[in-house]
Structures are given as C-alpha cells and as structure tokens.
Chains A and B, each alone.
Chain A
C-alpha cells in the first residue's frame, strides 16, 4: 500500500530507506533545478575536482525549465521535464551525495542501480501540471549559469511539493509495477 510522507530537505539515508515505489511525498525546503546543460557542467566540475555551486550532500535536484516569471512572482509555470536526458549524468551525482531527483518518465538501469547502491530515489512529479507546481515554489534564485536561461541552476524554496516515488533504493520501479497491474493480456 502506498504511504504518504512529509519530508524536509536535505534528505538523509534514513529518509530514503523509508521510501517505497508508489509512496507519495510532500517535499519542503530547498531544492535545486538543473537540466542537461547544467548537469554536464556539474559532472565536469566533479571530474576536475572543483567546487560545486551548491552542496550535493542530501540534495534534491528538480529537472525543470520554467516559463519566465510574471512581474512580482518568483517563477512561472514549473512542471517536470523528461528525465532520460539526465541519465548519463545522474549516477555520478548520486555517487557524490545526491539523494533525490524529480522528473517525469523512465530512467535507465545505471540510474536505478546507483539509487540502490548509494541510497537515493527518483521521484515523479505530474508532467503538464506546471501551473499547480509553479505555485508551490515560494522563492527562486539563479545561483549558477545564468547564461543558460531556462536551463540555469536555480535554488528553489518549496512547500509541500507533491511527488511520487518511482524508483526506490530497493530497486523497485513504479512504472513497471503499476503497468503490470493494469495491463490486459490477450
């Protein structure tokens, strides 16, 4: 049965081990945005042993490229983007302390294996619910790579941001399990 959790970042190993595929999590605290281009730069920094623009230990990264904010608002619409484009970078970040990723769509085996080995989870947020999710972001600040526009790294403050555990640290996958349950075989 799916459980509901309320968690605040940074996430600990204990938080992660309590999560199972299909659980609903309301996340609060600070999370960071990054898409392909920013991921590439983060991984390059790690390989060159340089300092990252934020603390990776216990961090949660949200794969999102928001619309421009209207005057007086912290951010525009901000739903998840398709995650597979980050598959080649995520394992390195997980190995260096990343605990959670928020996106939509399937991940590859290497990401799932890294979640299991280093205790991390992949959360799904509802794709196309950008208006609703953008509203739950209370503050947004570009902290690196401003020149990347929607792809810059932003620090977000979120409150009860709704996500579902897709890949947990036990190797389970909600996409596979959920589909099997409702598939009609001939």
Chain B
C-alpha cells in the first residue's frame, strides 16, 4: 500500500485550480488560433481576436479568463494500491477546491437550487465539487479537473432514442441541440457526445469526452470518422463566434461510445464553451 497524505492532495488541487483559472490550456489555444485563421466572417474574426487577446491578458496578468469560474468538476482515477492518510480523498479534493477558489479570487457560484441562496457560508466557498471516481490498477491517484461554466451547461441535453433511429438519429439530435443553443454557450464550442450505456452513463460519458485533448480523435477509427462527420454537419449551422454568424462554430467534437441495452439508444450532448479550462495532476 502506498500512502498519500491528505494535505498533499489539498495542495495539489488548490494549485491546479488557481493555475487553470488564468491559463487557457495549449490545446484550446491552438484550436482558437486555427479557427481565427479559417473564419470567413470579419465580425466573428474580431471576436476570435478578442478571445486570443483575453487569453494573453489572463495569463500574463493572472486575471481569471472568464468571470464564470465555474463549478469544479473532477474525474479521479484511484489506484487500488493507494491509501490516503489524514482524511478522505473526497474531503481533500473539496478542501483544495475551496482554498483555490478563495486564494485565486475566483467566484463562488454554488447555490441552493430552490432558494438560490449562495452556499459559500453554508457548505463552503464554491462547494461542493462534482467528483466522479474510477478504481484502477496501480498505486497512484490521477485527478482530472475542469472549471465548468453555467452558460454551456445550460444548453446541454440528453435523450433516449429508439434503436431504429441509429447513427442518423444521433446526428439529428446533436444538430438540434447545437442549433437551438445558438449564441448562448459562448461559441466557438467543443461538443462532447456520450452514446450508449444507460441514461446516466451517456451523460457522464459526454462530460468525460470534454476532458480529452481538444481535437484528439477517438482511438476507434469508426468513432473518429463519426466525430468528423458531426463536426462538418455542425459547422454548416453558421452560428459563428458568439453567435454573430460565421464558419467556425465548433472547434472539435468528441464522441464516447458505450455498449447499451438492446431496447435503447441513449445520447447525451455536453457543451464546452471556448473557455475550456481543464487540467490534471498525478500524485
């Protein structure tokens, strides 16, 4: 059993949270630059220019990229030969989140879903984090993190299709979701699609799809082909940067496919805005 101390996890998570709020990852930056080069609309190109300038200001002046610094979402792979000492892993991740959001001057955005009262003095500053666990081989803990803003979550959708609707049904549904979303999720966006599994498995897969390096194809060639087709179809919508019309609406489509029940075809679409703040740390 390898031992990892609670405090070390808190510190690692805190540093990751602070860094990610002001540093747009390389993959997202590269995709934005490509979009800026390819975009045909002058209005949309101007928006993309602002986004690149914004990323530069955020990085050099350590200002949050966006005022919506998100809910903290984690996917954690826990090696089964690890033992956390001095507290639970979940508490450590939450504590690191809270400290990071306070010390980084980030926004506390969690609230009670009915009263809408901010929970910063009730549960903790921007707590609770949303944490998904997986138990794997080995003696390490890998923590993947995303600061997920509200604008792009609000347009995300899930639906269980009939098996007969097949791949075309999936394409039609994704198109419907992105078309309806229009300017609201801050395009250009990255689209995560979870197909198959159960209702919640599809949703979690669509979220996890967004943690992949932007534009990296699914290792299964057939799924990678499907991603390309979806990307082409979605960019035909003409929504453009900030919805002002343009050729570059979607930077990448990531599809995760799961085996599913013979009776159903669940599909979930999770949208990531251009402010694709994610990161990971291994302990």
Chain A contact residues, CB within 8 Å of chain B: 2, 22, 24, 37, 64-70, 76-79, 81-82, 84, 104-106, 124, 126-132, 134-135, 149-150, 162, 164, 166, 174-175, 177-186
Contacts and interface: CB of A to CB of B under 8 A. Distances in A.
B275 interface: yes
Given A126-B242, A130-B65, A178-B240, 16 more contacts: A76-B64, A76-B67, A105-B182, A105-B183, A126-B47, A128-B65, A128-B186, A128-B275, A132-B54, A135-B57, A164-B43, A178-B238, A182-B41, A182-B238, A182-B240, A183-B238
A134 B67 contact: yes
Contact of B107 (A68, A105, A128, A164): A68
B266 to A, nearest CB: 27
B186 A70 contact: no
Interface of B is mostly: loop
6 contacts: A68-B105, A127-B151, A128-B65, A130-B67, A178-B244, A183-B236
B153 to A, nearest CB: 11
Contact of A66 (B67, B116, B238): B67
Contacts of B118: 149
Q: Name the interface size band of chain B.
A: 35 or more
A179 B67 contact: no
B19 interface: no
A135 B245 contact: no
Contacts of A64: 67
A102 to B, nearest CB: 13
A175 B243 contact: yes
A167 B73 CA distance: 35
B85 interface: no
A179 B237 contact: yes
B39 to A, nearest CB: 10
B245 A180 contact: yes
Contacts of B54: 126, 128-132
B25 to A, nearest CB: 14
B97 interface: no
A164 B51 CA distance: 15
A124 B58 CA distance: 21
Interface in B17-47: 22, 40-41, 43-44, 46-47
Contact of A131 (B58, B186, B245): B58
A82 B184 contact: yes
B239 interface: yes
Contact of A77 (B40, B47, B64): B64
Contact of A22 (B43, B116, B237, B246): B43
